[in-house]
Structure 1
Amino acid sequence: MQPAAPYRPLSDLIREHARNQGAHLALTGEGESLSYAQLDALVDRIAVTLQRNGVQPGQAIAICALNSVRYGALFLGALRAGVVVAPLPPSASAETLSVMLGDAGARLLFADQSAPRDLPGAAVQRISLDGVAPGQAWGDWLAPEGAQPEPVQVPPEAPFNIIYSSGTTGVPKGIVQSHGMRWAHIRRGATQGYGPQGTTLLSTPLYSNTTLVVFFPTLAYGGTVVLMGKFDAARYLQLAQQMRVTHTMLVPVQYQRIMDRPDFGEHDLSSFTHKFCTSAPFRADLKADVLARWPGALVEFYGMTEGGGTCILEAHLHPDKLHTVGRPAEGHDIRLIDEDGREVAPGEAGEVVGHSPGMMTGYHNQPEKTREAEWFDAGGKRFIRTGDVGRFDAEGFLTLFDRRKDMIISGGFNIYPSDLEAQLRAHPAVADVAVVGVPSRQWGETPVAFVVPRAGHQADAEALREWFNQRAGKTQRLADLRLVGELPRSAIGKILKRELQGGYGAASA
């Protein structure tokens, strides 16, 4: 495939690799492996079975499972049939999964034992990917070997998948991404070293856009994907060395756990050429540690599943900009607006909005939510609002402060939790921290910190709070500080601050 070639459906590229390098390893993990020839044949069987079941192009199926070779092949098989994939998180409650299934209009649900068994109100037909989950067995569902699907034309505007938001801000919203949007990610991969010689190790879930922005380009360029069902730092390092991994996508908490391992330096990671990160704030000191001890380029992406603009920080090329998320990607228009929707002056902070070739069609069945997420400039150009507050420096690098919704307004003053968290991390007894705003009769809101103590250090909550308050501005002082064993996180490492706020309110009632 020529990187600058016009749009082509991903399943066509899989077919091409099967012809040109059929014996080359395409997918492997958890005891299963498929060459490109085997993958292409399985993709055909999946596509023809979906057609046999009456699933039409543009209709959806749902997958609720841990990472596996079968999961990856199923996703690709649906695409070959023009079918939309709704990958759903097994960690969601049965009630939430039922809502997502109904919203997507899923004709079939493919699940393994990690998914809830009973889904209230969901009448969808189930197929068991592992033979343990309820439903028709995978092998019984599949069409015979050699079956060929009817060809389907898939234009770039056709829906590719529906990714559901993590639900950290309420009921998950279905984000509809097109084949054209995914093609934009594949095109971007032309500069990131993908190819038949590349091997990508993925431990983040396939229901997350974090994973898919690396999974699909690896296969589009004929590389090998190694899938981990669940992340484990020790196992990750073993696989990275054993498979001579060149590419990976990790979220910041995974980088931290890997770098914290005392045996990190005992593993040969010299094969790495590109390491990627996204989805959560990536601390400058952690970036510096990765750069110092882990070979290969380090690239941070800042953006949203909804699309809009992306910023890219090539940390290995800009070690003096590790506190930023980089500059807008080529062809991406990133701007900052105030609370009234007006662009801010240069050097001022504002909400980040972005326009790019890769933008969601909209939130599935939620036109009002779609309109809330959009901003249009004076010329009518469509942008996606991020909800993040940031500022550009003189060289065009973007520094983020916080989510607008996480900002604490105390006594009329704006407090950015990230400022307080950075100060608390300076204390030797603090391993991790999150600051949230809680209701206050006197101030409206007031900041409260949740601290994970560092192993081997004695931590006293009140002493730590006093230490911080002596150094903080008057409006930033903590009303309370609580020690916790760990911070609640989503599967891709985002701290679930709403859980901290709700738990604090319940405990204080």
Structure 2
Amino acid sequence: MTAAALLESDFATLPDLIRAHATERGDRLALAEAGGELDYAGLDALMDRVAAALQRDGVKQGDSVAIVAAASIEYAAVFLGTLRAGGVATPLAPSATGEAIVAMIADCGAPITFIDADAATTLAGQRIPGKLVHLKSLGTWLAPEGAAPAPVTIAPEDGFNIIYSSGTTGTPKGIVQSHTMRWAHIARNSAAGFGDAVTMIATPLYSNTTLVSFLPTLGWGGTAALMKKFDARGYLQLAERHRATHTMLVPVQYQRLMALPDFDSFDLSSFRFKTCTSAPFSPALKADILKRWPGLLVEYYGMTEGGASTALIATMFPDKLHTVGQPLPGHEIRLIDDDGNEVAPGEMGEVVGRSPTMMTGYHGRKEASAAAEWFDAEGNRYIRHGDVGRLDEDGFLILMDRKKDLIISGGFNIYPTDLEAVLSQHPAVADCSVIGVPSEAWGETPVGFYVPHTGVDASVEEIRDWTNAQLGKTQRLAELHAIEELPRSAIGKVLKRELRDRLAASAA
């Protein structure tokens, strides 16, 4: 079946799409990185060799295959070859501790794990369940050239991948996502122009944020340009060299790119489609990108677990930059109170959502899966997003904060994002975050952290007083601390738990 016919069908697998692209235009560039390139014919053949080797080593259909490494052509080939063998790709964060990585490998039951040199250092001395293969010696592990795996039949509900939550609030949970879910990500991008795209991949391949642009790029036959590690100037140089058309970045990456003094000197005229997700995206930053960076800008809001996703086409709705947009077609959002009842129109509530892209559940954790669900009166299943928000009169979602980050001080609800929005406006503040800490007098009280702006002189006390002068009495910061850099996950989320731990350690 041709690639066009597959893409027009009700369901197709990514390995089949890649094979069709290899057959029809095998010399089209599929993957590019600083050290090399691979066309679709070469990728298809490499996937066959990976899949055959996995089957040779006893990997059965439905088994997990773990990968702990930075993005590379070899990484992508192992991920995709796992799917062709009928396995479940399980990319793990190399930034996690050795103990945490081993725990995730054990949790998913992977009989084989692929690592790079950095991961090997992290895992030194650890007892790894199953077999270990170094990506640097992948060539000696692969099945011979021309090898073909035993064919497998993949059903829509079969596992495609397991993504482990970031662990910012506790032990990472394995989120099982099906081929149906990933097919929906590919199919819904019919108008995004991925067929002739050159997509910059500058976030880790273990992140769902990355996969929602990486997978459609290959599904439609475009080119994915991989960066092992993001740096702002290197990104712009690579984008200029490859004439990049598409990208998915997180807000902190956009922030660093736009802050470069010579940003405007780079030729970015080839860009057609820029997206953002995973963390709060300030209206001022969106406006700056619209002004200075060509191409459509779309902000997506959603979660790895599925739920519902929204999209803000910022280029079309410049008056809605304070929102995260409207639900995508086929996606539904409702807002509920603490008792699980829907709130009245215009009122704030916890976001719950449903869509064709919901997770099957957390791997091996029935109770956690149940806790993440909400059912309406008709028995329809929704996923709790953990965010508090409200819908405006046009159905655009305005996020207030993470429910777990809500500060209740003296009986009043305080949203850290409101305080951060004020604090960030001080010229001496380059980056900031606000957390709630226990207080005998108020139950909780807000404490701020900020990264000083180079070249702007202001004391902590001056910044705190300036900020508090613009806040309500119940919102005022009890403390403010200067910090060299905010702790962030690989996709830019501020790790507020680490800020709380740091504060507790300094008080001990």
Distance 1:459 1:74 in 2: 51
Aligned length: 502
Alpha carbons 1:299, 1:315 under 8 Å: kept: yes
Distance 1:153 1:370 in 2: 28
SS of the residue aligned with 1:323? coil
Distance 1:253 1:459 in 2: 23
Alpha carbons 1:425, 1:431 under 8 Å: kept: yes
One-letter amino acid of the counterpart of residue 181, structure 2? M
Distance 1:310 1:445 in 2: 32
One-letter amino acid of the counterpart of residue 132, structure 2? R
SS of the residue aligned with 1:427? coil
One-letter amino acid of the counterpart of residue 264, structure 1? F
Alpha carbons 1:98, 1:119 under 8 Å: kept: no
What does residue 114 of structure 1 align with?
118
Distance 1:235 1:422 in 2: 30
Distance 2:466 2:45 in 1: 63
What does residue 238 of structure 2 align with?
239
Are 2:184 and 1:181 equivalent residues in the alignment?
Answer: no
One-letter amino acid of the counterpart of residue 149, structure 2? P
Q: CA deviation at 1:4?
A: 3.8
Q: Deviations over 1:70-102 (max 9, x none)?
A: 111111100001100110011000111111000
Distance 2:117 2:388 in 1: 40
Distance 1:459 1:168 in 2: 31
Alpha carbons 1:421, 1:435 under 8 Å: kept: yes
Are 2:98 and 1:94 equivalent residues in the alignment?
Answer: yes
What does residue 39 of structure 1 align with?
43
One-letter amino acid of the counterpart of residue 143, structure 2? A
Distance 1:472 1:314 in 2: 31
SS of the residue aligned with 1:385? strand
Are 2:29 and 1:30 equivalent residues in the alignment?
Answer: no
Distance 1:362 1:377 in 2: 18
Alpha carbons 1:95, 1:119 under 8 Å: kept: no
TM-score (norm 1): 0.98
SS of the residue aligned with 1:8? coil
Q: CA deviation at 1:267?
A: 0.8
Distance 1:176 1:269 in 2: 37
Provide closer, same or farther for how the CA distance between residues 125 and 502 of structure 1 changes in structure 2, counting only shifts above 3 A: same
Alpha carbons 2:487, 2:498 under 8 Å: kept: yes
TM-score (norm 2): 0.98
Q: Deviations over 1:29-85 (max 9, x none)?
A: 031211100000000000111111110010111000000011111111000011001
SS of the residue aligned with 1:465? helix
Alpha carbons 1:390, 1:398 under 8 Å: kept: yes
Are 2:139 and 1:139 equivalent residues in the alignment?
Answer: yes
Are 2:418 and 1:428 equivalent residues in the alignment?
Answer: no
One-letter amino acid of the counterpart of residue 97, structure 2? S
What does residue 166 of structure 1 align with?
166
Alpha carbons 1:97, 1:119 under 8 Å: kept: no
SS of the residue aligned with 2:45? helix
Provide closer, same or farther for how the CA distance between residues 312 and 226 of structure 1 changes in structure 2, counting only shifts above 3 A: same
Distance 2:171 2:131 in 1: 24
SS of the residue aligned with 1:190? coil
For structure 1, list consecutive stretches of 5 or more residues without a partner in the other structure.
131-136
Distance 1:121 1:100 in 2: 13
Distance 2:424 2:336 in 1: 30
Are 2:6 and 1:7 equivalent residues in the alignment?
Answer: no
Q: CA deviation at 1:114?
A: 1.8
Which moves more between the two structures, 198-207 or 185-194?
Answer: 185-194
Distance 1:97 1:120 in 2: 10
Distance 1:118 1:55 in 2: 25
Q: CA deviation at 1:468?
A: 1.7
Distance 2:123 2:167 in 1: 21
Distance 2:9 2:83 in 1: 20
Q: CA deviation at 1:411?
A: 1.3
Distance 1:479 1:40 in 2: 58
Q: Which runs of 4+ in 1 moved over 4 A?
A: none
SS of the residue aligned with 1:317? coil
What does residue 408 of structure 1 align with?
407
What does residue 477 of structure 2 align with?
478
Distance 1:77 1:168 in 2: 30
SS of the residue aligned with 1:308? strand
What does residue 486 of structure 2 align with?
487
Alpha carbons 2:429, 2:453 under 8 Å: kept: yes
Distance 1:407 1:431 in 2: 23
Provide closer, same or farther for how the CA distance between residues 119 and 173 of structure 1 changes in structure 2, counting only shifts above 3 A: farther
Matches within 5 A, 1:366-377: 366-377=365-376
Matches within 5 A, 1:52-451: 52-115=56-119, 116-118=122-124, 120-130=126-136, 137-195=137-195, 197-451=196-450
Provide closer, same or farther for how the CA distance between residues 163 and 119 of structure 1 changes in structure 2, counting only shifts above 3 A: farther
Alpha carbons 1:27, 1:225 under 8 Å: kept: yes
Distance 2:281 2:359 in 1: 25
SS of the residue aligned with 1:347? coil
Alpha carbons 1:203, 1:231 under 8 Å: kept: yes
Distance 1:56 1:69 in 2: 24
Q: CA deviation at 1:117?
A: 2.8
Q: CA deviation at 1:119?
A: 5.7
Q: Deviations over 1:404-434 (max 9, x none)?
A: 0000011111100000001111211111110
Q: CA deviation at 1:5?
A: 1.9
Q: Deviations over 1:3-40 (max 9, x none)?
A: 44210110000000011001111001031211100000
Distance 2:96 2:102 in 1: 10
